[in-house]
Amino acid sequence: MSFRSKTGWSGALIACLSVLVATLIRSALEPIGNFYYLPLVPAVIVTALLARRGAVVLAILLAIGANLWLVPRESTLDAITNAALFAVIAWVIAEVCRRLIDSLEQARALTRDLALREMLLDTIVATTPIVTLDREGRTRRVTPAAADLLGVDREAAMAQPFASLLPGFDDAALAKARQGGEVLSPSSGPWTSGNIETPGSPLTLHANVLPDDIAPEHIVLTLGDQSQAETIRKGERDLNDKLSSVWRLNSMGEMAATLAHELNQPLTAATVYLHAGQAELTRLGTVAEGPARTIDLAKTQLLRAGDIIRRMREQVATGSRSFTEERASLIVLDLAPVFALTGQDTDTTIALDVEENDDQVLADRIQIQQALANLVRNAVDAVIGREGARVTVTGRTLGADGYEIAVCDNGDGIPEDRIDSIFHPMATTKAGGMGLGLSVTRSIVESHGATLVVSRNSQGGATFSFRLPRPTESEI
């Protein structure tokens, strides 16, 4: 901020007061000797320091006038010469004073600007992970951000070899740092903060070499935290996986629609042939009762497959499902022959324990049977090869809350960290599996307004359960 007066009137007042005071001092000194213009020079200096150039001119003129009034001159030429000489000297002194003030103001502004810049630089450095090393690789300076990233105490890290702060920073890495540029991580893996037992965030190192006349610092290491970049890259990989999964699901949807259309005719033909074969066996009498029952079961499953395909076509075409009033116990018990064959083939006991009273529900019979078959098949896969392998299908009435169907196994159960991912499409641990069983099952259950719940049972295995809703009067 300038000390000079900003207005003409105040500058003129300063000039008048300065010259008046200087004149009074000169008059007081008159008995001592003839000082002429010398006592008036401070008046011009004060005016130059406090006012603008116009006020300086006024002060010079007033000083000349006061001197001519107080000191008689021998000649006009002498008066003019002395006045001109005073005016030149006073103006030069005034300009020197003005330059001095300007320099002081500029120095003050530069000092203030440098202080702000230093404060900004300190803030930037404090928030940037930077470590300086001497020629021997010992730590000379550690910023707070670097201390937090490395997980060390700043005071304790001083004068310590940097290798003790960052695992793997050996003599080869120090030699590379002396050349400047990025310091590549060792072959054992990326730079990581922390220690070998508990590694922290992945890091990058970039080195800059200071001039030789700067001591004791010689190398400036800038540390980069790569944890956020790793998170972004992981998110990109997950997104690509999801996009790939969606693309495959779309392709499978198109394939399913095509299969639903193309398989209907051969299934119908196979059913007709089985019916004809069953009629031929019936003519043989009681000898063919066993094969006839087996063919009847096969025909039932073909008809069920045809119903599934028909429902798939309807859903693809209209996007709707057909819910009717059903008995939940019969939905389960109708699958008993299929479960019996599955148990025989895999040496697994599949037990049915369903309540048959008060079991009226609103459901798509075929879709619920498909979901239940998927759950039983997964449960059998979970216990196959285990001694005493057992799968239990239970059905319990819950009154107004509906009817609950559960599939339990005595396998190893599902780890807590995989419970959410097992329902994702394409997620499977089976060789040759497509990872669609549980995803389709959950979609079927949720379309009935229910939730597919997975939990660990008392035997240590997994239990999948869902509740079917009761039919309301308006829906009946």
Does a structural domain hold residue 16? yes
Are both 108 and 191 inside the same structural domain?
Answer: no
Domains held by the chain: number: 4
Using an 8 Å Cβ cutoff, are 448 and 468 in contact? yes
Using an 8 Å Cβ cutoff, are 431 and 451 in contact? no
Tokens standing for residue 236: 């990109």
Are both 357 and 458 inside the same structural domain?
Answer: yes
Please provide residue 411's backbone torsions phi and psi, each rounded to the nearest 5 degrees: -85, -155
**What is the pTM for the complete model shown?**
0.41
Are both 44 and 101 inside the same structural domain?
Answer: yes
Q: Which of 225, 254, 288 is the last residue of a domain?
A: 225
Does a structural domain hold residue 2? no
Q: Which of 208, 225, 242 is the last residue of a domain?
A: 225
pLDDT tens track for 247-295? 454 445 555 555 554 555 566 656 665 666 666 667 666 666 667 667 7
Cα–Cα distance measured from residue 427 to residue 248, given in angstroms and rounded to the nearest whole number = 12
Does a structural domain hold residue 310? yes
Are both 314 and 449 inside the same structural domain?
Answer: no
Are both 459 and 359 inside the same structural domain?
Answer: yes
Are both 159 and 43 inside the same structural domain?
Answer: no
Cβ-proximal residues to 89 (8 Å cutoff; 6+ apart), any chain: 41
Does a structural domain hold residue 238? no
Are both 459 and 328 inside the same structural domain?
Answer: yes
Residue 15 has pLDDT above 60, yes or no: yes
Does a structural domain hold residue 332? yes
Structural domain harbouring 177: 130-225
Are both 413 and 383 inside the same structural domain?
Answer: yes
354 confidence band (pLDDT: 50, 70, 90)? very high
**Nearest CA-CA partner of 326 in 393, 405, 267:** 405
Residue 402 has pLDDT above 90, yes or no: yes
Cα–Cα distance measured from residue 166 to residue 207, given in angstroms and rounded to the nearest whole number = 15
Does a structural domain hold residue 82? yes
Cα–Cα distance measured from residue 177 to residue 165, given in angstroms and rounded to the nearest whole number = 16
Are both 136 and 35 inside the same structural domain?
Answer: no
244 confidence band (pLDDT: 50, 70, 90)? low
- Strand 390-397, strand 349-354: pairing: parallel
Report residue 257 CA to chain centroid gap.
39
What's the average model confidence in pLDDT over 393-411? 93
pLDDT tens track for 56-72? 888 888 888 887 787 77
Does a structural domain hold residue 250? no
Does a structural domain hold residue 337? yes
Going by the DSSP 8-state scheme, the letter that residue 151 receives in this structure is T
**Nearest CA-CA partner of 405 in 392, 423, 414, 393:** 393
What's the average model confidence in pLDDT over 327-331? 93
What's the average model confidence in pLDDT over 192-198? 58
Q: Poorest-confidence range of 80-84, 339-343, 349-353, 426-430? A: 426-430
Report residue 205 CA to chain centroid gap.
22
CATH number, residue 386: 3.30.565.10
Q: Which of 277, 302, 318 is the last residue of a domain?
A: 318
Q: What are the strands, taking DSSP E only, across 246-329?
A: 324-327
CATH number, residue 218: 3.30.450.20
460 backbone φψ class: left, alpha, beta (φ>0; ψ -120 to 50): left
**pLDDT score of 476:** 44
Using an 8 Å Cβ cutoff, are 468 and 425 in contact? no
Are both 331 and 427 inside the same structural domain?
Answer: yes
A 10 A CB-CB count for 113 gives 10
Are both 117 and 141 inside the same structural domain?
Answer: no
Find residue 225's DSSP bridge partners.
Answer: 203
**pLDDT score of 352:** 94
Cα–Cα distance measured from residue 15 to residue 53, given in angstroms and rounded to the nearest whole number = 11
Tell me the one-letter amino acid at 324. T
Using an 8 Å Cβ cutoff, are 453 and 465 in contact? yes
Average pLDDT in the chain = 78
- Max mean pLDDT among 274-278, 296-300, 355-359 falls in 355-359
The CB-based long-range contact list for 313-318 (8 Å cut-off, 24+ gap) reads 313/257, 313/260, 313/261, 313/264, 316/253, 316/256, 316/257, 316/260
Cα–Cα distance measured from residue 98 to residue 100, given in angstroms and rounded to the nearest whole number = 5
**pLDDT score of 413:** 85
Are both 86 and 146 inside the same structural domain?
Answer: no
